[in-house]
Structure 1
Amino acid sequence: MRIGELADRTGVSVRALRYYEEQDLLSPERSPSGQRQYPDSAVERVRLIQQLYTAGLSSRVIVSLLPCVVDGDATPELLDRLAAERDRIDGQVAELVSTRNRLDSVITGATENLRTGRPCPARAGPAA
């Protein structure tokens, strides 16, 4: 498939796909006229790259992880890096859960205050 179709199928811009190529994250074949040609497997690879970017990994880290993810090839150092990234993501998840729980508390309190007619503590001002 050509780059425009890959962009459409993945929701990633053509510019981003070119950047992935510059960073050695994607390696398209070239037609005789120089157009990029991607296999169907590129769709899943781009989705994986997007997930890893969303999780906060840099292109440099992603490039080093791809052999393990794609082929199962790993060194002890790479496995350590994967574990460290997983632990970092676990920390982010824990922070998000904590934030969600605090928001739930605020929503519950504000809902109760609306039901009883009392002002929200944050808006009530200092205690007299």
Structure 2
Amino acid sequence: MKIGEIAKLSGVSTRTIDYYTNCGLLAVERSEANYRLYPETVLHTLERIQFLKKQRMSIAEIQEILKAGGMPETEVLMEDVIEEFDCLQRKITRLEEQLKDAPIHVKVQISKALENKMAAITALLALL
């Protein structure tokens, strides 16, 4: 597929695809007319690159992951953890809004109930 087709199907600009190609992240061949031709597998690779970029990984780190064959189980776990964290963040925001006008004794009760939960969260963060 030509770069324009890849861009349209992936939602990634041709400029970004060109950059990733120049960095060696994407496989490309040249046609007789000197067009860049990408295999269909590039769509999956672009998806992975975009995911890893969202995790604030550098191009060098992404290159290492792609060279190593990817560590897909790590990516899946990372995606699950981030998705769960985002969900919890949305819930916390809603709860903060609800608690804004709550009486102080209610806030104290909730704070005491959360003390044990905070220990579990701290233990989880220590694993990371």
Tell me if both proteins adopt one fold, taking TM over 0.5 as the criterion: yes
Structure 2 residue aligned with 1:21: 21
Report the TM-score when normalising by structure 1: 0.62
**Equivalent AA in structure 2 for residue 33 of structure 1:** A
Could you list the structure 1 runs, at least 4 aligned residues long, displaced by more than 3 angstroms after superposition.
85-102, 110-113
Q: Does 1:102 align with 2:123?
A: no
8 Å contact from structure 2 (residues 27, 39) kept in 1:
no
Structure possessing the higher radius of gyration over alpha carbons:
1
Structure 2 residue aligned with 1:44: 44
User: Which ranges in structure 1 are unaligned for 5 or more consecutive residues?
Assistant: 71-81, 114-128
CA distance in 2, matches of 1:48, 1:6: 14
How much has 1:48 moved relative to structure 2?
0.8
Q: Deviations over 1:58-104 (max 9, x none)?
A: 1110001102235xxxxxxxxxxx9xx99998997787566434312
Structure (1 or 2) with the greater helix fraction: 2
How much has 1:27 moved relative to structure 2?
2.3
Q: Does 1:67 align with 2:57?
A: no
Structure 2 residue aligned with 1:76: none
How much has 1:56 moved relative to structure 2?
1.0
CA pair 14-63 structure 1, distance change in 2 beyond 3 A: same
CA pair 95-42 structure 1, distance change in 2 beyond 3 A: closer
SS for the counterpart of 1:43 is helix
Report the TM-score when normalising by structure 2: 0.62
CA distance in 2, matches of 1:37, 1:97: 40
Identity fraction in percent: 28
